[in-house]
Amino acid sequence: MSILKVNAVAKTYTTRFSKNKVEALKNVTFEVEKGEYVAVMGESGSGKTTLLNILAALDKPTAGKVILDGIDLSSVKESEIAQFRRENLGFVFQEFNLLDTFSLRDNIFLPLVLAGKKHADMEKALEPIAKKLGIEELLSKFPYEVSGGQKQRAAVARAVITNPKLILADEPTGALDSRATDELLGLFSEVNKLGQTIVMVTHSVKAASHAGRVLFIKDGEVFHQLYRGDNTNRQMYSLISDTLTMLSTGGER
Amino acid sequence: MKTAVHTRLAIDGIKKNSRLYVPYILGGAVMSGISYIMHYLSSDRILDSVKKGVATLGAFLPLAAWIIAIFSVIFLFYANSFIIKRRSRELGLYNVLGMDKKNIAKVMAIESVAVAVMSIGAGLIFGVAFSKLAEAALFKALGEKVGFAVYIHLPAVAKTAAVFGGVYLLLLINSLVRVAFSKPASLIMNDKAGEKEPKGNAVLAVIGLALLIGAYIISLSIKSPLNAMMLFFVAVIMVIVATYLLFIAGSVTLCRLLKKNKNYYYNPKHFVSVSSMSYRMKRNGAGLASICILSTMVLVTVTATGSLFTGLEETVNEAFPYQMCADAQFESYSDLTDEFRKDFLEQADFLECKDSVYYDCVAASGYIANGEFNDDPSSLLIFDSSIADNIIELEMFSLSDYNRITGKNETLAEGECLVWSDKEAEKFDTFTVRGEKPLNVKKHLDSFFATTGNVLSSGVPRVYIVVSDLEKYAYDLVQIDNGLYDFFLFFRSGYDTVFADKDSFDAGHELGNRIFRNIEMNNMENGVLSTDVAFRQEFRDECTELYTGIFFMGITLSVVFLIAAVLIIYYKQITEGYEDASRFSIMRKVGMTRKEIRKSINSQVLTVFFAPLAVAGMHMAFAMPLVSKLLKLMYLENTKLLVLTAVVIFALFAVFYAIVYKITSHSYYSIVNPKPKM
């Protein structure tokens, strides 16, 4: 069963000073099955961030449709979009986007508080997640007191605590050192094994090599995709590298 | 680089940061405008055209101009340091991109000049425009006619431009020094750590509370205006320190308590606001305390000067129950003969008065304890508050005068007396002077006839003693002359409705002066030390002058305090706005709706923002007893009027505060929650 359908999505920007139109996305179509772990790759300017913003309902496509679990995102009212996002999506950002006014615990609670949950329920929901992510000891600390990897784990906790239909990760390893990157990717795989659907935008081959499927975007279109099949991470890594080389040298499909 | 580039960068800098610069320029403009008005009003052109009040106005108004200049320096520095802090990122970027410090300095210099020109220019236009209004108000207060010509006073323009030009030069030097000593990396860096809860918070709170209670007790317990004068500034400083400590400790404690209450804290309405509050709890406390103190200053200043001004007529009537008072002072009771009294009153008949009063009176100043009056001047030199609180003006009357004037029929046996006293003075059952035989107090009188010598008493409580035979009782007191020459014998008289209008006042004034001058000349050998004639109208003029001067200064200072308070409120809101903007944008990404953000902001601002107003109101209420004592030094006795004025002023201020809050929180809102660009 597919949870996310992206159907012929296009996004065109008009620049401020000229009438030239810039096509960020031309025609993107793909589906994500429930429980899938998809990485979206592409070079800078390939349109992957635009795609992510559209999936996150932060931006609207100029053409095409995005359907999340049967709901057309364009049919959600502007005033309800934030609530929709909060209830259906979880986010992990490159810059963590933790609030420095909150302790890690409160940062993780934020979406639950906004949803009006009771405090006791929040604690109950947090306990297994914190244990799994190994941040039980850090919950009372503030973001500026912990390392980047620890911050990102807290951000993952915040994303999963609402049991979202879809987790959107934007370059989640971009600000991490290699050890923290490994840890985080391990966590993503584990979370995914528990049935969580993840869509991750990245240009890190290593990050993408953990995914079940890798989509390559070039010039605003899905150019190619790779399925993991029975490949190991290492095998995935070299497959992705090859594909990228082919893409940048302009080889044919 | 060429100057044109610098100029463009400077102008762009101001334009792009208009949110920071507009209030800064406006604040400077209002300050320099008021300064111009003060210089204008104290110029010869104005002072020559008013007959009265030249001395007081000439002294007060330039003083006010200087105080404004000093405050301008403080507040413009505050605003400027804020602007530099905000702009350091941009300047750091220029630096990193290869613009050296010399060029940055040049940009800043151009910017400063532009700001100074705009501020002072707008200030002068504002000043000239409103100077006519101020002039009219001043003339009206002094009871003079105003012309219609609008006039630009060049020396005042020059003075204002010079002083404020100097202020902006200081600001520029300060900015340049800051840039010179800064490193580009630190210019771009931005510290994100929150504030730690200070250690010993409880101790701070206790010290603050103790100081506050101490100051309030001072205000409530002081009886004498003289003590009030001495302790006023002590109390003010105590309150200022206490306010800072309590607001800081209070905001820390409040944050802790709110966070502990999980059900309150983990509520979408409070979650964000409580955490941001505790993130900057100390700074928040200090900011609120500053707002509170400035608000209190405005309230107390306006109330005090305003009630003085509005209570003028009553004060004058209280001090001068008769339009004209005439006294003669004698060396000894043996000189105050019936012959003199008759002669004196006959002379006064020339004045065709309709109502008059005359009586003998023995007066002295000293302090009273348990009904024992001590007039030893050396004991008054000791600044002992128990003595200062008991200083009184003593006046003694004869029963025959009392009965004649009041129409009553009191009787007194030998060794008995009647007593009337101000409510501040202590009550006693026996009255003793200099170890003489004590007089038993037969009765405490509720009221007394209007005496004519009150002007001198200026706030010191009065005690009146009526004895059966004043001459007999006080003969020796007046006589004694061993360096303790403190009991004065007067023959006093008051006359009413002598002068129907201003012309007849002038005539009567001259006649009165001449008559009593004659009496003095004729009786120099007969033991008359001096005669004194005083006119209510003269006193009124004197008070008008004094009060107008004080009122203008009070209003001016209040405006300055008010601008300072508004600037602090505004800059506090926008600093927090810039800090919170990134947070709210994260929250929007995580899924907070615009509506929720608005609610959360309202909760945050409302919880903390009206605290300073409430505390300022409390300070004001507790300051009133002290202020009322101080006003007694300036003859204002009407406490009811003071309270009424205080209530009205507070209500007006609260409305003003709410408006400022509304406007500034709007700018906060537009920073943290910008309209979507779609």
Do residues A142 and A174 lie in contact, with contact meaning Cβ atoms separated by under 8 Å? no
User: Is the C-alpha dihedral spanning B624, B629, B633, B638 positive or negative?
Assistant: positive
Q: What does the pLDDT average to over A133-159? A: 87
Q: Are B389 and B423 in the same domain?
A: yes
B189 and B201 housed in the same domain: no
Q: What is the mean pLDDT of chain B?
A: 80
As given in the structure block, the two tokens for residue B262 are 């999980």
* Domain contains B462: yes
Confidence bin at B677 (pLDDT 50/70/90) = very low
Domain boundary among B471, B498, B525: B498
Q: Is A123 exposed, middle or buried (0-12, 13-18, 19+ CB in 10 A)?
A: middle
In a domain, B42, yes or no: yes
Same domain, yes or no, for B55 and B199?
Answer: no
The secondary element (H helix, E strand) that includes residue B467 is strand B462-467
Q: Are residues B398 and B272 in the same domain?
A: no
Last residue of a domain, one of B148, B175, B193: B193
Asked if residue B288 belongs to a domain, the reply is yes
B-chain residues near A87 (CB < 8 A): 591
Average pLDDT score over residue span B11-24? 86
Cα(A27)–Cα(A63) distance, integer angstroms: 9
Q: Report the percent of chain B where pLDDT is more than 70.
A: 87
The answer to whether the CB of B520 falls within 8 A of the CB of B300 is no
ipTM of the complex in this document: 0.75
CA angle A160/A163/A168 to nearest 5° reads: 55
How many domains, in total, are found in chain B? 3
B99 and B231 part of one domain: no
Mean pLDDT of A224-250: 85
Greater model confidence, B489 or B50: B489
Q: How distant is the Cα of B10 from the closest Cα of chain A, in angstroms?
A: 24
| Count of Cβ atoms closer than 10 Å to residue B471 Cβ | 15
Same domain? For B307 and B329 the reply is no
> Both B188 and B205 in a single domain?
no
Does residue B571 form part of some domain? yes
- Whether B359 is covered by a domain: the verdict is yes
Q: DSSP assignment of A45-71, as one string?
A: TSSHHHHHHHHTTSS--SEEEEEETTE
- Give how far A242 is from chain B: nearest CA, Å: 35
Contact B591 A58 (CB under 8 A): no
Residues of A in contact with B275 (CB under 8 A): 99, 101-102, 106
Instruction: Report the run of H or E that residue B580 belongs to, with start and end.
Output: helix B536-590
What pLDDT does A11 receive? 86
At A253 the pLDDT is 47
Residue B238 shares a structural domain with residue B301:
yes
At which of B451, B469, B498 does a domain end?
Answer: B498
In a domain, B460, yes or no: yes
pLDDT above 90: residue B621? yes
Q: How confident is the model at residue B130 (pLDDT cuts 50, 70, 90)?
A: confident
Q: Is the pLDDT of residue B386 over 70?
A: no
Whether B183 and B204 share a structural domain: no
- Domain range holding B24? 1-193
The answer to whether the Cβ–Cβ distance between B591 and A109 falls below 8 Å is no
Q: What is the pLDDT of residues B300-358, one digit of tens each?
A: 999 988 888 888 888 788 778 888 888 888 878 888 888 888 877 777 666 667 777 88
B399 vs B367, more confident: B399
Q: Which of A16, A74, A89, A100 to mutate to test the interface with B (most CBs of B within 10 A)?
A: A100
Q: What is the value of pTM for the model shown?
A: 0.76
Pair B181, B203 in one domain: no
Q: Which residue has the higher pLDDT, B263 or B188?
A: B263
pLDDT at residue A97, rounded to an integer: 84
Residues B551 and B433 in one domain: no
Is B516 within a domain? no
| Res B512: pLDDT | 74
pLDDT in tens, B420-470: 887 666 778 888 887 777 888 888 888 888 777 655 455 677 888 898 888
Region B510-525 average pLDDT:
73
**d(C-alpha B562, C-alpha B540), whole Å:** 31
Q: Is the CB of A165 inside 8 Å of chain B's CB atoms? A: no
> In this model, does residue A252 exceed pLDDT 80?
no
pLDDT for position B115: 92
Convert the pLDDT of each residue in A25-48 to its tens digit.
888 889 999 899 999 988 777 788
B129 located within any domain: yes
- Kindly report, residue by residue over B204-240, the tens digit of the pLDDT: 889 999 999 999 998 888 777 777 777 888 888 899 8
Predicted confidence (pLDDT) at residue B183 exceeds the cutoff of 70? no
Residue A116 distance to chain B (closest CA, Å):
6
Question: What residues 103-142 of chain A have any CB closer than 8 A to a CB of chain B?
Answer: 106, 109-111, 113-114, 116-119, 122, 142
Q: Does residue B209 sit in the same domain as residue B162?
A: no
